[in-house]
C-alpha cells in the first residue's frame, strides 16, 4: 500500500475509526493520485474506489498493484454490496466540511452506518506537510514561474493590454505545465490598488507600475508568485511604499522557520506597516500551497499555531493606496528546521523594464 494510505490507516486506528468515506477529490488525489470523479472507501480490509464508466479506464491507467486499491464501476455495486462495505465497523469517518447534508443522509442509509464520525480535516492537516515528491513538483512549478516572469520582462511593452499579458502567461504555462494554478492577476497603473484585480483592456503606459500575481500546476501541485515592477522609472511616491513592503517581505523570510508562531510573524508586519504610515495589512500575509493554491496553514494574526518543517507557504505582504497604486511582493517558500528555502527566486529590488 502507498505511504499516504498507510498513514491514513494508522491515523484512523488512533482515532478508533474502522472505516472512512473520502469524498473530497483533492484529498483523493493526495492519497491515491487519482484525478477523477468518485468516492474512496477505506474499509477494514480494503481500499475501494467507486467511479463510473467515464473514468474506469483512466483510473486503471493511474493505479499500480502497489496501491492496493480496488476499482468499482458504481453500476456494478448492489444494495447489499454497499451494506457490506462497513459491516463490522463501529465508527466510520466522513468529511463533514466537504459532503452536503443530503449526501450525509444518503451515505448513512446506503452504507447502513452505525456511528458516522466527523473527521475534522485530518487529511487536510496532513497535506500541510509535504513529502519529497510533492516538494519536487512544487519546486518545478516555482522554477517555471520564475522562467515565465523572466520572459515577461522582455515581452511587456507599453501598448500591450493587461488582458494580452495575462493571455501570454496562460500560453506560456499551457505549453510547459498542467496550466494555470489560478486566474492570473495583471494590474497596471491605478488598477494595482485592487489586491484582486481582474485583467482589463487598459494598455501599459510609460512610467506605469505593474503588479503580476501568477502560478502554474505541475502534476497537480501549484506555485504562487507576485512581483510589482515599473516601466521606465520608479515613481518617487511609490518608493517608500515599495521599500516598506520589501523590507517586511525580507523580514518574514528571516522569521519563517519550524516552531515560529504564525500570529507573531503576522503581528510584526502589521505593526511595522502601522508605524510607518498607518498602513493596514488588508489580506492575509500568506497561505499554504500544494494541490490547492490556497490551503492551510493560513498565515494571519488569528492563527496561533506554529510553522512546521516541510510546510510550503507564501509570504506576500502588500500595501494598497486606494485609487492610486498598490505594491505586493510574494514568494512561495519551504519551511525548514532552521529557516526557509525560497522556491520562487525572481528579482525583488526595483525591477524596471
Binding site for its own copies (CB under 8 A): 54, 94, 96-102, 104-105, 118, 196
Q: Which is nearer to its own copies, 96 or 146 (CB)?
A: 96
Q: How far apart are CA 24 and CA 214, in angstroms?
A: 25
DSSP letter string, 133-151 = HHHHHHHHHHHHHHHHHHH
Task: Report in angstroms how near the CB of residue 179 gets to its own copies at its nearest.
Answer: 12
50: which DSSP letter? E
Q: Which is nearer to its own copies, 161 or 345 (CB)?
A: 161
Query: What sign does the dihedral 61-65-69-72 (CA atoms) show?
Result: positive
Grid cell of 55 as nine digits: 473514468
Q: Which is nearer to its own copies, 119 or 344 (CB)?
A: 119
Task: Report in angstroms how near the CB of residue 197 gets to its own copies at its nearest.
Answer: 12
The alpha carbon torsion through 166, 170, 171, 176 (nearest 10 deg) reads: 140
Q: Which is nearer to its own copies, 96 or 309 (CB)?
A: 96
Task: Report in angstroms how near the CB of residue 315 gets to its own copies at its nearest.
Answer: 22
Helices 3-14 and 25-32: crossing angle in degrees, nearest 10, is 120
For residues 137 and 219, the answer to whether their CB atoms sit within 8 Å is yes
The alpha carbon torsion through 330, 222, 31, 295 (nearest 10 deg) reads: 40
Task: Report in angstroms how near the CB of residue 102 gets to its own copies at its nearest.
Answer: 4
Q: Which is nearer to its own copies, 116 or 242 (CB)?
A: 116
Helices 239-255 and 262-275: crossing angle in degrees, nearest 10, is 160
Task: Report in angstroms how near the CB of residue 329 gets to its own copies at its nearest.
Answer: 22
For residues 193 and 321, the answer to whether their CB atoms sit within 8 Å is yes
193: which DSSP letter? G
Task: Report in angstroms how near the CB of residue 170 gets to its own copies at its nearest.
Answer: 10
Task: Report in angstroms how near the CB of residue 115 gets to its own copies at its nearest.
Answer: 14
Q: How far apart are CA 318 and CA 103, in angstroms?
A: 41
Q: Which is nearer to its own copies, 79 or 196 (CB)?
A: 196
Q: Which is nearer to its own copies, 38 or 340 (CB)?
A: 38
Q: Which is nearer to its own copies, 100 or 349 (CB)?
A: 100
Task: Report in angstroms how near the CB of residue 104 gets to its own copies at its nearest.
Answer: 4
Residues near 38 by beta carbon (within 8 Å), at least 6 away in sequence: 28, 49, 50, 51, 52, 55, 59
Amino acid at each position: 500500500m502507498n505511504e499516504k494510505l498507510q498513514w491514513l490507516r494508522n491515523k484512523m486506528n488512533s482515532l478508533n475509526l474502522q472505516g472512512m468515506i473520502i469524498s473530497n477529490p483533492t484529498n483523493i488525489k493526495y492519497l491515491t493520485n487519482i484525478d477523477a470523479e468518485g468516492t474512496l472507501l477505506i474499509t477494514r480490509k480494503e481500499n475501494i474506489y467507486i467511479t463510473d464508466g467515464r473514468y474506469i479506464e483512466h483510473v486503471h491507467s493511474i493505479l499500480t498493484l502497489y496501491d492496493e486499491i480496488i476499482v468499482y464501476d458504481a453500476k456494478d455495486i448492489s444494495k447489499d454490496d454497499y451494506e457490506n462495505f462497513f459491516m463490522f465497523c463501529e465508527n466510520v469517518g466522513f468529511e463533514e466540511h466537504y459532503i452536503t447534508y443530503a449526501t450525509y443522509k444518503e451515505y448513512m442509509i446506503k452504507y447502513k452506518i452505525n456511528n458516522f464520525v466527523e473527521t475534522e480535516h485530518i487529511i487536510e492537516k496532513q497535506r500541510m506537510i509535504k513529502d519529497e515528491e510533492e516538494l519536487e513538483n512544487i519546486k518545478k512549478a516555482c522554477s517555471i514561474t520564475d522562467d515565465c516572469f523572466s520572459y515577461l520582462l522582455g515581452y511587456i511593452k507599453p501598448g500591450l493590454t493587461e488582458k494580452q499579458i495575462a493571455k501570454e502567461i496562460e500560453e506560456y504555462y499551457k505549453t510547459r505545465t498542467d496550466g494555470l494554478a489560478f486566474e492570473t492577476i495583471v494590474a497596471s497603473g491605478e488598477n494595482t490598488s485592487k489586491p484582486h484585480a481582474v485583467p482589463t483592456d487598459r494598455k501599459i503606459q510609460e512610467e506605469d507600475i505593474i503588479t503580476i500575481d501568477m502560478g502554474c500546476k505541475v502534476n497537480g501541485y501549484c506555485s504562487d508568485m507576485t512581483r510589482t515592477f515599473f516601466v521606465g522609472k520608479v515613481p518617487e511616491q511609490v518608493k517608500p511604499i515599495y521599500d516598506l513592503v520589501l523590507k517586511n517581505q525580507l523580514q518574514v523570510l528571516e522569521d519563517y522557520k519550524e516552531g515560529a508562531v504564525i500570529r507573531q510573524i503576522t503581528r510584526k508586519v502589521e505593526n511595522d506597516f502601522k508605524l510607518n504610515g498607518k498602513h493596514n495589512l488588508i489580506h492575509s500575509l500568506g497561505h499554504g500551497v500544494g494541490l490547492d493554491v490556497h490551503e492551510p496553514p493560513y498565515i494571519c494574526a488569528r492563527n496561533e499555531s506554529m510553522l512546521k518543517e516541510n510546510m510550503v507557504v507564501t509570504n506576500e505582504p502588500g500595501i494598497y493606496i486606494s485609487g492610486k497604486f498598490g505594491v505586493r511582493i510574494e514568494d512561495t517558500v519551504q519551511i525548514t528546521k532552521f529557516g526557509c528555502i525560497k522556491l520562487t527566486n525572481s528579482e525583488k529590488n526595483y525591477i524596471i523594464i
